[in-house]
Amino acid sequence: MKTSTMLAAMLLICPVVQAWSSSRPQPMKMGLVGTFSKGARRVRDSVLNKERSREDLKIGIAGFYDRSSKLWEDVWGEHMHHGYYIPADRTDHQQAQIDLIDEVLKWADVDSAQNMVDVGCGIGGSSRHIAKKLGCTAQGVTLSPYQAGRGNELAKEQGLDGQTTFQVADALDMPFEDNRFDLVWSLESGEHMPDKKKFINEMFRVATPGGRIIIVTWCHRDLKEGEDNLTRKEERLLAAINRAYYLPKWCSVDDYVNLLEKNGAQNIKREDWSYIIAPFWKAVIVSSLNLKSVLGLARSGFSTQRGAYAMFLMLKGFNKGLIKFGLLTCTTPETEAKTD
């Protein structure tokens, strides 16, 4: 049996073991049976890569990042995204993450802003960096209470308390008034959105007329002429990744462009930066091969462990040209009319 297969089997068994060991002693046999059945269903759904409901995704995303964010910060720092690898052999990985933010801003022709919203902010690394760089205010939303709390702690430590704030909120129903932000930023969060149309519409709603929207996200490849869908093998690979990372179905950059156009977007620009971030995968895998990372992963629980294993699936999809690191930017219409 291959090592990867053995690891997958061990990870799939974990939910049953954890559910059994964490349950309180039950006076009735049915309590134990119910606990075991729940664990068995989790294993079955994982094996079959069953698609999660929108509510399950919302709960799962919050829990996944509540458990994994501290481990990531301990190893990689405050920026929870990929790095900019030009040249490809650079080894200053945390600086590469900061450079990615700066290069995306440069690519999108952004050199000033007054009010920014970070849609899917993690622990707020991008928000704080951009707030310092551009002198703007920044508000971030995340489903994870841990991330929102940690983001505010770091803002206070860095002297940005009040200039940057973070809260728990749904990106598909943000608690902001219309026409609020002249910079709407989403870095590696769009892949978590179960309703891409509503995701785009909501960003247009909170953007000021003529405001700038930037989306950096994982997508599947654009369909070729004559194709209606991805291949079954490609769909199975993405389904396995979805289970691990609490993702809904993927879309392509073409799909995003269509949604932007329906909102009347102007100055649409797109680019594939897959080759620019490619070395980051190997760096993350290498970073996990030390005692601190292994112990942290062992303590982090099943969902984080499964996410670590799924990085190999992401790498497989990336190498096959299925998974793309897409950049999109546009400006909103100068009038306030937005698509419902």
Distance CA 142, CA 58 (A): 11
Q: What is the pLDDT of residue 290?
A: 62
Q: What is the pLDDT of residue 269?
A: 98
Residue 278 vs residue 203, higher pLDDT: 203
Taking the model in full, what pTM does it have? 0.82
Return the structure tokens found at 183: 């910079």
Cβ 309 vs Cβ 244: under 8 Å: yes
Cβ 218 vs Cβ 241: under 8 Å: no
**By 3-state DSSP, what share of the chain in percent is helix, strand and coil, each rounded to 5?**
55, 15, 30
Q: What is the mean pLDDT of the chain?
A: 84
| Strand locations in the chain (E) | 115-119, 137-142, 164-168, 181-187, 207-220, 266-272, 323-331
Q: What percent of the chain has pLDDT over 70?
A: 77
Average pLDDT over residues 78-105: 95
Q: What is the pLDDT of residue 336?
A: 60
Q: What is the pLDDT of residues 204-249, one digit of tens each?
A: 999 999 999 999 999 999 999 999 999 999 999 999 999 888 899 9
Residue 289 vs residue 97, higher pLDDT: 97
Residues in Cβ contact with 331 at an 8 Å cutoff, skipping those fewer than 6 apart: 210, 211, 212, 213, 265, 266, 267
DSSP 190: G
User: pLDDT-based confidence at 168, cuts 50/70/90?
Assistant: very high
218 forms bridges with which residues in the sheet? 325
Q: What is the pLDDT of residues 259-311, one digit of tens each?
A: 999 999 999 999 999 999 999 877 777 766 666 656 655 665 555 555 566 77
**Range with top average pLDDT, 39-43, 116-120, 311-315:** 116-120
Residue carrying the six token digits 């601190």: 292
